[in-house]
Structure 1
Amino acid sequence: MTLDGVIVPERPGEIRACLVVRDEALRLPSTLDHHRRLGVERFLVIDNGSVDGTQDLLSAQPDVHTFHTTETFAASRDGLSWSNAVRDAFCDGHWTLSVDADEQLIYPGVEHLDLRALCELLEAQGADCLLAFLLDMYNEGDVAEAVHDPARPLLETCGWFDPGPYRVRRGGPFPSISIYGGPRDRMIAFKPYQEGPPLLTKVPLVRWRRGMRYLLSTHRMSPARLFPAIGALLHFKFLSDFSDRVETAVAGGWHAGAEREFLAYRAHAHANPRMRFHHTGSVKYEDSGQLVRLGVMYSNPALDAAIQSAQDGGNETP
């Protein structure tokens, strides 16, 4: 990937987002719209050889700068070499959201507090980043029935999740907390392929400084000052294209760090043609307050006060 020729205007204080994508025309419209509504002002998107219309979709967005690369995703450490370089070049000093095309950030009070207000609160509290919990979303029927209209919000297609149980381990590289569980842990046998289920903790929102590094997707990063609250990334992996995407990824050797994870997905899909994550314990998503009550997200007194102030002032995120 080269940064030559890409002009990104200097806009101090602008909230930016960085994504690495490949054939994401199905999910990108909802994900871009969601984060625009939250307050992202500029998107830096690295496209890794999409052939499904993603490039045309991105070129039509006035707030998107697209970088193109045909290098292999696996050789770039699953895109980290590219995205860390883009953040260093264009996000130094900016609050920067780093997400996948199938991830949408929410946090306590998201309906009332936009990203600008949240970032100002984090700064006032001396924090550089926000921890988030990857919450797998799914539909009510078979995964193959989760046919998504790109013009509609992803939550309309996959609005259900597991409220628990989740396991928390402390220690290891920053952010020194690991959460496991959810529908993938409940349904998919990962043990023959890797030690356990996928890690659900991420650090998607960071006031980026040149030289910072994500080390394992956005699950791990160089140490920073963490805000004492937990948001969530609504994770929309399980649309009707899930099995096809898994087959393509395994056949193409797309992933380095997640290769064994995708082998587990493929084995489960082959053994369960009518794959379904919905069960009697599933819960329909309502709002951020619901996730706080369920213990999926956590607030703190400073954030609660900011939310209350925004509510009293009638300032709601559209």
Structure 2
Amino acid sequence: MSIPRGKDELRLFVIARNESLRLPYFLRYYLDRGVDRIFLIDNDSTDNTIEIALQFPNVHVFKITESFKNFWNWIEFFLNKYGKNRWCLVVDVDELLSYPFEEITPLKTLVNYLEKNKFDAIRSFLLDIYSDKPIIETNYCPNNNPLESCPYFDPTFNEGRIKLFDKKRWMYFETIIYFGGMRERVFNKIARSSWNYHLSKISLFKYSGNVYVTEGMHSVNGAQIADITGVVFHTKYMQDFIKRVMIESQREVHFGNAMEYKIYNKACLSENDITLCFKDSVRFENSRQLIKLGIMRTSVQFNNYLAEKDLDLSLIIRKLK
């Protein structure tokens, strides 16, 4: 399939390896919301990931067999080749972007709002979602919405500021960072670890020569950040989790020789029936619930913009008061 110039296209970039469980819903989720074109980098899958991807329109598959340790070079290459001066999404297959009033707001409407107000990116919170059963018994079915089988989340997290390095400008910059959440509560406790789980994501941004996105999409420099924030639903904790962490902890291709996966694996070996749900877990309802909880943020300017687009916010806004 040839790749058109598509200067106004919204493009998504994703790396996948053996993702037949999550991929069907993932692709449909983003295409249905207005993504024009998806670039899927397959990292040596042995299941039918590639066959699934090729069933969808405007999905381009590139097969790479080298070590995942080079993943950020791949992302930067594809962004420079196919994403320059366009709005781009960079996500994992277990990440679903949402934003204020997503139920009535097409993704292109959000992008138009960001463009109109000269924003270059939206900051999002990585929200781990999970079931009320042991992880191994979650039984998610491909094509289903993960929030149906994993509707729970932790309502609290921490926010701070750190300095990260911008390799384009060769300088440090300060940025907001989210951390903590379910993984710290569960896996650090079981594995007796002090690992820092970053929950900040810059999944949606306009890629230009001025914009530098850090490895892992945790922060951005050289961009005007939007006055609203989103959420990235993290669908990692399904029935394949224990097998995956065992494999990845042995492959040692993720950050820090897969230290995070080794923590997961140690916890799973200690407690094979780990249940992530606890007394303070909250069941997901909708985006306005996340706004009320402070996990997602809207603005008067964004609300007014949606009203101008004839989207009925009156009921939602009344419930927020």
Shared fold by TM > 0.5?
A: yes
1:267 aligns to 2:266 (yes or no): yes
> In the alignment, what sits opposite 1:3?
none
Cα-to-partner distance string for 1:116-147 (whole Å, 9 max, x where unaligned): 11111111111100100000000111111111
18, 21, 41: which one pairs with 1:26?
21
1:80 aligns to 2:68 (yes or no): no
| Correspondence 1:211-290 to 2 at 5 A | 212-257=211-256, 259-290=258-289
Tell me, in whole angstroms, the C-alpha distance in 1 between the residues paired with 2:123 and 2:149.
26
1:136 aligns to 2:128 (yes or no): yes
> In the alignment, what sits opposite 1:168?
159
Structure 2 alignment gaps of length 5 or more? 165-172, 314-321
2:249 and 2:259 in contact (8 A); partners too: no
> In the alignment, what sits opposite 1:64?
59
Cα-to-partner distance string for 1:170-223 (whole Å, 9 max, x where unaligned): 232367011112211111127979753310001000111257443221113343
Relative distance call for 1:115 and 1:285 in structure 2 (3 A) is same
2:190 and 2:270 in contact (8 A); partners too: no
- How far apart are 1:103 and its partner, in Å? 0.4
Letter in 2 for 1:278: C
| Correspondence 1:101-250 to 2 at 5 A | 101-164=93-156, 166-173=157-164, 176-189=175-188, 195-210=194-209, 212-250=211-249
Tell me, in whole angstroms, the C-alpha distance in 2 between the residues paired with 1:312 and 1:224.
28
Letter in 2 for 1:168: E
7, 11, 14: which one pairs with 1:16?
11
> When the two structures are superposed, what TM-score results if normalisation uses the length of structure 1?
0.90
Q: Secondary structure at the match of 2:231?
A: strand
Tell me, in whole angstroms, the C-alpha distance in 2 between the residues paired with 1:255 and 1:234.
21
1:102 and 1:236 in contact (8 A); partners too: yes
- How far apart are 1:9 and its partner, in Å? 0.7
Q: Which has the higher helix share?
A: 2
1:184 and 1:197 in contact (8 A); partners too: no
1:15 and 1:40 in contact (8 A); partners too: yes
Relative distance call for 1:175 and 1:92 in structure 2 (3 A) is farther
Letter in 1 for 2:93: A
Q: Secondary structure at the match of 2:178?
A: strand
> In the alignment, what sits opposite 1:54?
49
Structure 1 alignment gaps of length 5 or more? 1-5
Relative distance call for 1:258 and 1:210 in structure 2 (3 A) is farther
Deviates more, 1:303-312 or 1:254-263: 303-312
Tell me, in whole angstroms, the C-alpha distance in 2 between the residues paired with 1:194 and 1:273.
18
2:13 and 2:91 in contact (8 A); partners too: yes
Question: RCO (CA 8 Å, sep 6+): is it higher in 1 or 2?
Answer: 1
Q: Secondary structure at the match of 2:203?
A: strand
Relative distance call for 1:311 and 1:280 in structure 2 (3 A) is farther
1:109 and 1:307 in contact (8 A); partners too: no
Q: Secondary structure at the match of 1:112?
A: coil
Q: Secondary structure at the match of 2:255?
A: coil
Q: Secondary structure at the match of 1:176?
A: strand
Cα-to-partner distance string for 1:206-259 (whole Å, 9 max, x where unaligned): 111257443221113343111122100000010011010001111122213461
1:80 and 1:215 in contact (8 A); partners too: no
Letter in 1 for 2:161: R
Tell me, in whole angstroms, the C-alpha distance in 2 between the residues paired with 1:162 and 1:275.
16
Relative distance call for 1:276 and 1:12 in structure 2 (3 A) is same
> In the alignment, what sits opposite 2:319?
none
Cα-to-partner distance string for 1:25-52 (whole Å, 9 max, x where unaligned): 1111111111122211110111100111
Let me know the Cα RMSD of the aligned residues: 2.0
- How far apart are 1:275 and its partner, in Å? 0.5
Q: Secondary structure at the match of 1:196?
A: coil
Tell me, in whole angstroms, the C-alpha distance in 2 between the residues paired with 1:251 and 1:211.
38
Letter in 1 for 2:285: E
Tell me, in whole angstroms, the C-alpha distance in 1 between the residues paired with 2:192 and 2:3.
42
Tell me, in whole angstroms, the C-alpha distance in 1 between the residues paired with 2:111 and 2:174.
18
Letter in 2 for 1:126: K
> When the two structures are superposed, what TM-score results if normalisation uses the length of structure 2?
0.90
Q: Percent identity?
A: 29
